[in-house]
Amino acid sequence: MGTPERQLSSIEQRLLNDFQHDMPLEPRPFARLADSLGVTEQQVLSLLSRLQDEGVVSRVGPVFRPNRVGVSTLAALAVPPARLTEVAEQVNAFVEVNHNYEREHEFNLWFVVTAPDTRHLRGVLDEIARATDLEPLELPMLEDYFIDLGFPLQWA
């Protein structure tokens, strides 16, 4: 998550903190959030867009159980430390990659790839190999665990 160059407004803080869970499943979920915040739907959409542009938020969207909608896999790359930032940016450029992170291991860049089907998933892993000149290690899920990634945000 990027560090904002400015202090976040109270509406932005509430938007980031209060709606990490239970996104309304309805045709206009952002209108519901807007009602709770006392602003318009367009203001919520604009705020989220700006927060993404500033690097405060990387993604806004649902999280589905793995392999319930399409397919997914965890993968890792053994990246020379001097190339880690460059390769992380290359991996992040793929819309099928929903996040990546550094680990203390020979395979030091881990990421999750999602795709509509196995063929597309393989294609993305092959493209990542070509783009980075590194071979992804695929780590398929053997057993699923649900880890809640929401947490209360602390504002300085």
CATH of 71-139, one of 3.40.50.10420, 3.30.70.3460, 3.20.20.480, 1.10.10.10: 3.30.70.3460
The structure's pTM equals 0.62
Q: Can you list the pairs that 100-103 forms with residues at least 24 positions away whose Cβ atoms lie under 8 Å? A: 103/76
Residue 7's pLDDT band (boundaries 50, 70, 90)?
Answer: confident
Q: Please name every residue paired with 109 in a beta bridge, in sequence order, or none if there are none.
A: 77, 102
Question: Domains of the chain: which residue ranges?
Answer: 10-53, 71-139
pLDDT at 66: 67
Question: Which pLDDT band, with edges at 50, 70 and 90, does 142 fall under?
Answer: confident
Calculate the average pLDDT of the chain. Answer: 88
Q: Is the pLDDT of residue 1 over 50?
A: no
| Predicted pLDDT at 154 | 74
pLDDT for res 13: 93
Confidence of residue 141 (pLDDT cuts 50, 70, 90): confident
* pLDDT at 6 (0 to 100): 75
Rounded-to-integer distance, Cα 7 and Cα 13, Å: 10
What's the distance, CA 150 to chain centroid?
13
The label of the residue with tokens 């705020």 reads 47
Q: Where are the beta strands (DSSP E) in the chain?
A: 71-77, 97-102, 109-115, 137-139
Whether 129 and 135 have beta carbons less than 8 Å apart is answered as yes
Tell me the mean pLDDT in the region 29-40.
95
